[in-house]
Amino acid sequence: MGSLGKFASINEAKEFKKIYDEAKKWHCECAVVYFLASEQKKFAVVASKKIGKAVIRNRAKRLIKAAFLNIKNELKSGSFVIITKAGINEMKFGAIEKNLRWSFRKMDILK
C-alpha cells in the first residue's frame, strides 16, 4: 500500500478501461481526473511520453501523488485515475494542489 494509506494501486488494464469508460471526467490545467464511485479506494497516476523523458514523467507523477495525499482525507471513496498534462513540471506545487482540489469540487467528490 505504501504512502497512500488506504488507497490501493490500480494496475490491471481492465480496471483502467472500466474507469475510462464509466467514470466522471474533468480537465484542469495540470491533469485530467477520472473518478468512479465504489467502496474500494484506489488510485493511479499516468504520465505519457508526451510529458517528457522518464525523469520528468516520474517528477510529474510525484507532484500529483503529493498533492493527492494532501487532499485524500476530504474525498469520497472510489477509484481515481489522474493523467498528467504537459507543462505540469513548470507549475508550482500549490497551483497543482489547488487545481486538483478545484477539479474534485467540480466533480462533487469532496465530502
Q: Which domains does the chain have, with CATH numbers?
A: 24-106 (3.30.230.10)
Q: Provide the 3-class DSSP secondary structure of residue 75.
A: strand
User: What pLDDT sits at residue 78?
Assistant: 94
User: pLDDT tens digits for the chain (111 residues)?
Assistant: 356 778 899 999 999 999 999 999 999 999 999 999 999 999 999 999 999 999 999 999 999 999 999 999 999 999 999 999 999 999 999 999 999 999 999 999 988
pTM above 0.85, yes or no: yes
- 108 Cβ partners below 8 Å, 6+ apart? none
Q: Where are the beta strands (DSSP E) in the chain?
A: 8-9, 24-27, 31-37, 42-46, 78-84
What gap in Å lies between CA 46 and CA 95, rounded to an integer?
Answer: 19
User: What pLDDT sits at residue 1?
Assistant: 38
